[in-house]
Chains A and B, each alone.
Chain A
């Protein structure tokens, strides 16, 4: 009965590779997010989708491309990985129409680029 799940949990890859992280939520939420957390725990929003429509797109390199095939899924594809992409990536979801704006986070994907 996992609410927000991410795969994989750990991802180790070399510079220059392309990788994807998948996220699924079974809460019936209409809004999903990708965050990047650096080694100092600082959390930065990257993207947000509402009903499959991109609504927040922060200053993120073009190498990062989100895709939302439906309301329950939000994937993140990263091209030409760089050392600085090493971080923990969190997916989150919320129900915008509820008005509470509480976000539910997944367990994170720890990406290590060598």
Chain B
């Protein structure tokens, strides 16, 4: 079945460091890919998305590129801030119009220290 794998956390970085959170997926067809972020004590919110191969999603300094050849959607940010401390979830949804669920990865916890 479809699945999403993320690098295990927790990840601890100093402020202004470069961030990469790896995400790979297994899915049939051409899924849409997402990164959601969950700040402490809150629900998830969409950070960025990409719907087809080679698309780059970006938001708030974060970027991820849909790589079909490597089935990956790695999240990157050039300079993290303390306020980026959160849990990051990679997710996919299979293409098509049928009612289908979004499959979430296990989440990667990020702590940014001053």
Residues of chain A having any CB pair with chain B under 8 Å: 4, 31, 40-43, 45, 48, 50, 55-56, 58, 90, 92, 96, 100-108
Contacts and interface: CB of A to CB of B under 8 A. Distances in A.
Contacts of B43: 4, 90, 92, 105-108
Q: Which secondary structure dominates chain B's binding surface?
A: strand
A26 to B, nearest CB: 15
A41 B6 CA distance: 13
Most B-side CB within 10 Å, residue of A4, A40, A41, A92: A41
A75 to B, nearest CB: 17
A107 B38 CA distance: 10
Nearest to A91: B43
10 contacts: A40-B106, A41-B38, A43-B89, A45-B101, A45-B102, A90-B43, A101-B32, A102-B46, A103-B44, A104-B45
Interface of B: 32, 34, 38, 41-46, 49, 87, 89, 93, 99, 101-102, 104, 106-107, 109
Contacts of B45: 104-105
A42 B106 contact: yes
Contacts of A45: 101-102
B43 to A, nearest CB: 3
Nearest to A106: B43
B110 to A, nearest CB: 12
Contacts of A41: 38, 87, 106-107, 109
Contact of B101 (A48, A90, A104, A108): A48
